[in-house]
Homo-oligomer: A and B are copies of this chain.
Amino acid sequence: MKIITISREFGSGGREFSRRLADVLDFDYYDKEIINAISLNKGMDKNYVNRIMEKDERANIPLTFGKSFAGIFSNSTQTELLLEQKKVIEEIAKAENNCVIVGRNADVLLSDYKPFNIFVCADMDSKIDRCLKHVREDESRDVKNIKKKIYSIDKNRIQLREFITDKIWGEPANYHLTLNTSNWDLKELALTSAEFIKSWYKGLVND
C-alpha cells in the first residue's frame, strides 16, 4: 500500500494538485471526506466541524496533547475532533488502499506507514492571484486582506502542527518532495510529479 500525504500553503493550489495527482495515479483521495467522516461519527454538522477544525480554539488544548496523544485532554470540542480526526486518518491507512491524503498532518500521524510526503508552496503573487480567482462574492477582493488571510491560515497550520510534532511545517527535509506551483499548469505538474513518485517507489523496491 502506498500513502501520499500533501501539506500545502494556502493559495498554492495544493488541493487541486492533490486531486489531480490522485486521479493520475488512480489512488483514493481524502480531503473533505475526512471532515465528513468526523461529522458522521460525532453526529455533528460538517460545516460546524470544519469551522472548529480550522479556527482558533487551540488555546484550550493542553501541551500534553503532544506526540503521544495520550496526555490529559481538556474538554474543548477541537481537541475531541482532532482525536476523532486522528482515528479517521488511521482507519484510512488500515484499509490498505493506495491513497492521497490532503493536510491534517497525516504525514506525522501516519509516519509508521512510511508515506511519501509532499509539501506544496507557491510565490506570494501566485497565491494572491489564485485566491482572487476563487474569492466568493461576499469576500474582500482587497489584496492586503487576501495576503492577511494567507498568512493567518498558514500560521494556524504551523501552530497546530507544533502541538503534535517537532517536524516543522514546510521545512524541506521533513518532506520527500517540495513543489512550487507558480507558473505550472497543475494538470502537467500532477503528471510529472506522478512519474517522480513512481521512480521513488521503484527505488525502494530495488533497495
B180:A173 contact, CB within 8 angstroms: yes
Q: What 1/0 mask marks residues of chain A from 157 to 200 whose CB sits below 8 Å from any chain B CB? A: 00000000000001011011111101111001101110110011
A173:B203 contact, CB within 8 angstroms: no
- Cβ of A70: which chain B residues have Cβ within 8 Å of it? none
- Cβ of A124: which chain B residues have Cβ within 8 Å of it? 173
Residues of A77-130 contacting chain B, CB below 8 A: 119, 121-124
B203:A183 contact, CB within 8 angstroms: yes
A191 to chain B, nearest CB (A): 7
A196:B203 contact, CB within 8 angstroms: no
A204 at the interface (CB under 8 A from B): yes
From A122, A180, A195, name the one whose CB has the most chain B CB atoms within 10 angstroms: A180
With A and B bound together, what is the CA distance between A178 and B182 in angstroms?
A: 13
A182 to chain B, nearest CB (A): 8
A177:B180 contact, CB within 8 angstroms: yes
**Which 10 A-B residue pairings sit nearest by Cβ, starting from the closest?**
A178-B178, A192-B199, A121-B172, A172-B178, A121-B173, A192-B196, A188-B203, A176-B180, A123-B173, A185-B203
24 A-B residue pairs with CB within 8 Å: A9-B173, A119-B172, A121-B172, A121-B173, A122-B173, A170-B172, A175-B178, A175-B180, A176-B180, A176-B182, A177-B180, A178-B179, A178-B180, A183-B203, A183-B204, A183-B207, A185-B203, A188-B199, A188-B203, A189-B199, A192-B200, A195-B195, A195-B196, A196-B196
20 more CB-based (< 8 A) A-B contacts, given A175-B178, A178-B179: A9-B173, A122-B173, A123-B173, A124-B173, A172-B172, A172-B178, A173-B182, A177-B178, A177-B179, A178-B178, A178-B180, A183-B203, A183-B204, A183-B207, A188-B202, A192-B195, A192-B199, A192-B200, A195-B196, A196-B196
